[in-house]
Amino acid sequence: SFTVELARSALTLEVPAGRTILEVLRENGVEAPSSCEQGACGTCLTKVLEGTPDHQDVYLNETEKQANASMLTCVSRSLSDKLVLDI
């Protein structure tokens, strides 16, 4: 599991194995837009302020993935213990 800190919502959430960031956001009442939920459409694109995402999507190109400045919350996870998202 890893921790997601929501910078604008002042919430800190735990994302367990087998759950997506998007699911955890919604379970905690955070409104998060999505469409495909398969990492392809870009609707759930979220700015990353801190931490290293584990990119699992097919939407961002390699340069964008390496920049670690944004991620797709429907499929991607975290390589660091904590991610800080601009939500």
Give contact residues for ligand FES (rule: CB under 6 A). Answer: 34-37, 39-44, 57, 59, 72, 74
Measured from the CB of residue 83, what is the shortest distance to ligand FES in angstroms? 15
Query: What DSSP letter does each residue of 11-76 carry, written as one string?
Result: EEEEE-TT--HHHHHHHTT-----SSSSSSS-TTEEEEEES-EE---SSS-HHHHHHTSEEETTT-
Our CB check for ligand FES shows the closer of 10 and 22 to be 22
Measured from the CB of residue 52, what is the shortest distance to ligand FES in angstroms? 19
How many whole angstroms separate alpha carbon 25 and alpha carbon 70?
Answer: 16
Our CB check for ligand FES shows the closer of 51 and 55 to be 55
Our CB check for ligand FES shows the closer of 44 and 48 to be 44
